[in-house]
């Protein structure tokens, strides 16, 4: 399928992990791809790709997944839903291209890219094993969940664009429905990603054990072979 993208890292041997980066409104995959340089040294066997939004947004190369002109709490979900099939198809395209399954796929988004990443797990549970949502939110809070995807919310404490309260509400909602979630608040940070945010993301991918591992241990079951290659 054709879509705007930038390959940050392509390992010489078959990829063991897949990291997909999704930018915010008005940004582009090359600029967002700079974040991939943080992940590449720690995941040398990962295919890392920065994905461009589905439509232009102002002067090139700015892109977006959906328009924020006139967006409200009432119409945001419909805009997300309208483009979600293309978003999911893009994720699956790169899973097929890389030969990496959902168990070793991470969706990493900022702002609108975080919205799309979080909402994709609502629309297609188990699409990826991890979501890292920098300064994001749900369009509407989830009402059902599972531990198939571990969600890491990382949010600036002084974000004037997507208020911290949306991340707090997301954490509370996921906890209530039995999801697997962490929330890190970066003090004095606005609507941006800084070194502290990045270090939190890297640490979660390397060291946070998914909740479903504990559930499997308690139930006495063993992980499937496909689950063995993951992040950590």
* Active-site annotation holder among 93, 191, 212, 227: 191
**Annotation says 93 is catalytic:** no
Helical ranges in 99-194 per DSSP H: 112-123, 164-176
Under 8 Å between Cβ of 143 and 164: no
**Annotation says 204 is catalytic:** no
Report d(CA 45, CA 78) in Å as an integer: 37
Task: Return the C-alpha torsion angle 181, 187, 191, 192, nearest 10.
Answer: -90
* Active-site annotation holder among 50, 111, 114, 129: 111
Under 8 Å between Cβ of 22 and 108: yes
Report d(CA 108, CA 17) in Å as an integer: 13
**Annotation says 197 is catalytic:** no
Task: Return the C-alpha torsion angle 9, 12, 13, 15, nearest 10.
Answer: 10
* Active-site annotation holder among 5, 50, 114, 159: 159
- Which residues are the active-site residues? 111, 159, 191
């Amino acid at each position: 399928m054709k879509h705007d993208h930038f390959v940050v890292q392509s390992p010489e041997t078959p990829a063991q992990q897949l990291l997909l980066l999704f930018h915010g409104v008005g940004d582009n995959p090359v600029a967002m791809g700079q974040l991939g340089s943080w992940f590449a040294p720690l995941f040398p066997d990962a295919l890392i790709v920065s994905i461009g939004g589905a439509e232009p947004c102002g002067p090139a190369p700015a892109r977006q997944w959906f328009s924020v002109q006139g967006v409200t709490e009432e119409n945001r979900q419909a805009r997300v839903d309208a483009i979600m099939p293309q978003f999911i198809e893009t994720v699956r395209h790169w899973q097929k291209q890389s030969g990496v399954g959902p168990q070793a796929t991470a969706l990493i988004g900022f702002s609108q890219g975080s919205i799309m990443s979080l909402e994709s797990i609502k629309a297609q549970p188990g699409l990826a094993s991890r979501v890292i949502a920098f300064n994001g939110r749900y369009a509407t809070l989830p009402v059902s969940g599972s531990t198939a995807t571990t969600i890491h919310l990382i949010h600036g404490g002084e974000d004037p664009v997507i208020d911290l309260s949306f991340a707090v509400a997301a954490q509370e909602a996921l906890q209530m429905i039995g999801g697997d979630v962490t929330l890190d608040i970066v003090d004095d940070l606005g609507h941006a990603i800084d070194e502290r945010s990045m270090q939190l993301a890297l640490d979660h991918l390397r060291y946070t054990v998914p909740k479903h591992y504990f559930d499997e241990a308690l139930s006495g079951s063993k992980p499937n072979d496909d689950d063995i290659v993951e992040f950590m």
